[in-house]
Amino acid sequence: MKIGILGTGIVGQTLAGALAAKGHDVMIGTRDPQATMQRESASGASRAPFRDWHKNNPAVKLRTFAETARFGEAVINATSGSGAHGAVEGAGAEALGHKILLDLSNPLDFSKGFPPTLTVSNTDSLAEQLQRAFPRVRLVKTLNTTTAALMVNPAAVGDGDHTMFVAGNDAEAKAQVKGWLGEWFGWRDVIDLGDVTNARGMEMLLPIWTRLYGALGSPMFNFKIVR
Amino acid sequence: MKIGILGTGIVGQTLAGALAAKGHDVMIGTRDPQATMQRESASGASRAPFRDWHKNNPAVKLRTFAETARFGEAVINATSGSGAHGAVEGAGAEALGHKILLDLSNPLDFSKGFPPTLTVSNTDSLAEQLQRAFPRVRLVKTLNTTTAALMVNPAAVGDGDHTMFVAGNDAEAKAQVKGWLGEWFGWRDVIDLGDVTNARGMEMLLPIWTRLYGALGSPMFNFKIVR
């Protein structure tokens, strides 16, 4: 299927690579594709400049946010929290339409160092902000609670026996996303938390996630809801 | 050993019952013991008036917060978030001294219904507030991330194969608490997140905990960190 991914960082790269390897037709969106391809240094947590990654993944197309949103049968917001509003605005209401938007971003503020705080939490969430700004899009919050390598390969720890969450206002979109998480990556335990306000709980997992990363010395862990 | 528990609600009752059954000498502290024994109705999530519970647990003593803090070789804050400051102030710096204070409380605000928001989060925590107010006490945040029945009996779900956290400034106190969690209740996987600021991550688990309670229809679950 045609999948549009907003964001050229490590999350976007990891998802694009995994989905292209599965035979999907993948496009990555960025503000200025030419600038992204010319960039010499990696941004954020990316390990290499985008163009180096792209040499190894030539089937993945790089276009603008709007072209990518138009292209995708599903659109994935894989930007950092600080980039999320700009990316989805760049995609635009017209191109996004009534499509399913998987929102993976976290409103992390690293300006005071590590661990980060959240720029929005408790009484609101980044997912709700995006859903309010684009009321027609069918936003499903998911995959924000684990590291990129585990998003696309949960079996890499504990034989995949751990948990993912979804939250969003559209029941059909959530059921579709649950199916995709299984088909694309092998997620077996996906809990539907309810409407988009429940993204608060998912984004507020990041403060303990970042601390566990520090305590364990590795991002290769995930939450399992044992019941 | 002598254990003092602040709070007569379901958490205090559950801990007191389990610790007394293990042969420990347990005292529960409340603001006004006589009023607590005369109360006709249950407060908070307690299932029955305290005096009914006490009839079945006569070995557990009921005294003031200060007497309980003086009594305990370890002191456990098992109050609700709204009661925590009053309880620890009632205990007092002199009675608490340099003792280990296990802080189990969560700063939940139910004034706008369920799920609750947090009264403090992101850049501070209830645990830090208490530690700042009583700098000599060796506060260890723990057990706040699961329901009372699982605090004292983790084996009730998933054969006990799930995770507890500790956070606090005193390494020796945390090591002691890790030992107690194992000896008292059978906790096997306890992760030390670091100093007391890491209690932010533990308290910010509550927004997803409360939503999982809603989605699963039961509080009998816990987080396992699969790695």
Residue B21 neighbours by CB under 8 Å, 6+ apart: none
- Give the nearest chain B residue to A161 (CA atoms): B226
pLDDT > 90? residue A40: no
Cβ of B118 and A118 within 8 Å?
A: no
This complex has an ipTM of 0.97
Lowest mean pLDDT among A31-45, A54-68, B18-32: A31-45
Please tell me which residue of chain B has the smallest CA distance to A218. Answer: B227
Has residue B46 got a pLDDT over 90? no
A121-150: burial string, b at 16+ Cβ within 10 Å, e else: bbeebbbbbbbeebeebbbbbbbbbbbbeb
pLDDT tens digits, A177-209: 999 999 999 999 999 999 999 999 999 999 999
* Partner-chain contact A208 B191, CB within 8 Å: no
Q: Other C-beta atoms within 10 Å of A3: how many?
A: 25
Has residue A11 got a pLDDT over 90?
A: yes
Question: Cβ of A118 and B122 within 8 Å?
Answer: yes
| B157 lies within 8 A of chain A by CB | yes
- Segment A50-57 mean pLDDT: 96
Q: Say which residue, A112 or A42, is predicted with more confidence.
A: A112
Q: From the candidates A210, A218, A227, which should be mutated to test the interface with B, based on the most B CB atoms within 10 A?
A: A227
Q: For residue B154, is pLDDT > 90?
A: yes
B227:A218 CB<8 A? yes
- Tell me whether strands A25-30 and A2-6 are parallel, antiparallel or unpaired: parallel
What is the count of residue pairs from A and B with beta carbons less than 8 Å apart? Answer: 118
* DSSP output for chain A: -EEEEE--SHHHHHHHHHHHHTT-EEEEEES-HHHHHH--S--TT-SS-HHHHHHH-TTSEEEEHHHHHHH-SEEEE-S-HHHHHHHHHHH-HHHHTT-EEEE----EE-TT-SS-EESS-SS--HHHHHHHHSTTSEEEEESTTS-HHHHS-GGGTGGG-SEEEEE-S-HHHHHHHHHHIIIII---EEEEEESGGGHHHHHTTHHHHHHHHHHHS-S--EEEEE-
| pLDDT given for residue A134 in this prediction | 98
**Is residue A48 very low, low, confident or very high in pLDDT (cuts 50, 70, 90)?**
confident
Chain A interface, best mutation among B216, B220, B226, B227, by max A CB count within 10 A: B226
Taking residues B84-113, report their average pLDDT. 97
- Assess B123–A contact: CB distance below 8 Å, yes or no: yes
For the purposes of burial, counting CB atoms within 10 Å of the CB of A114, is it exposed (0-12), middle (13-18) or buried (19 or more)? exposed
Taking an 8 Å cut-off on Cβ atoms, the answer to whether A122 and B118 are in contact is: yes
Bridge pairing between strands B100-103 and A108-109: unpaired
> Is pLDDT above 90 for B110?
yes
B109: nearest CA partner in chain A: A122
- Asked if the Cβ–Cβ distance from B222 to A226 is below 8 Å, we say yes
Across B110-133, average pLDDT: 97
Contacts of B162 in chain A (CB under 8 A): 224, 226
B207 touches chain A (CB under 8 A): yes
Query: What does R_g of chain A's alpha carbons equal in angstroms?
Result: 16
Q: Is residue A43 over pLDDT 80?
A: no
Residue-level pLDDT at B41: 79
Q: Which of A191, A201, A208 sits opposite B202 (nearest CB)?
A: A208
Q: Is the pLDDT of residue B47 over 80?
A: no
Residue range A66-108, pLDDT digits in tens: 999 999 999 999 999 999 999 999 999 999 999 999 999 999 9
To probe the interface with A, which of B204, B209, B216, B218 has the most A CB atoms within 10 Å? B204
Q: Is any Cβ of chain B less than 8 angstroms from the Cβ of A165?
A: yes
Please judge whether A198 and B211 are an interchain contact, meaning their C-beta atoms are less than 8 angstroms apart: yes
* pTM, full prediction: 0.97
Write out chain B residues lying below 8 Å of A218, CB-based: 227
Q: Which residue of B has its CA nearest to A125?
A: B207
Residue B227 to residue A216, Cβ atoms within 8 A: yes
pLDDT of the residue at B65: 98
Name the fold adopted by A2-216: Rossmann fold (3.40.50)
Cβ-defined contact of B223 to A226 (cutoff 8 Å): yes
Residue B16, pLDDT > 80, answer yes
By Cβ distance, the residue of B201, B214, B226 closest to A224 is B226
Whether residue B215 lies within 8 A of chain A, CB to CB, comes out as yes
pLDDT digits (tens, 9 = 90+) for A123-171: 999 999 999 999 999 999 999 999 999 999 999 999 999 999 999 999 9
Q: What are B134's two structure tokens?
A: 């009583």
The pLDDT of B53-61, averaged and rounded, is 97
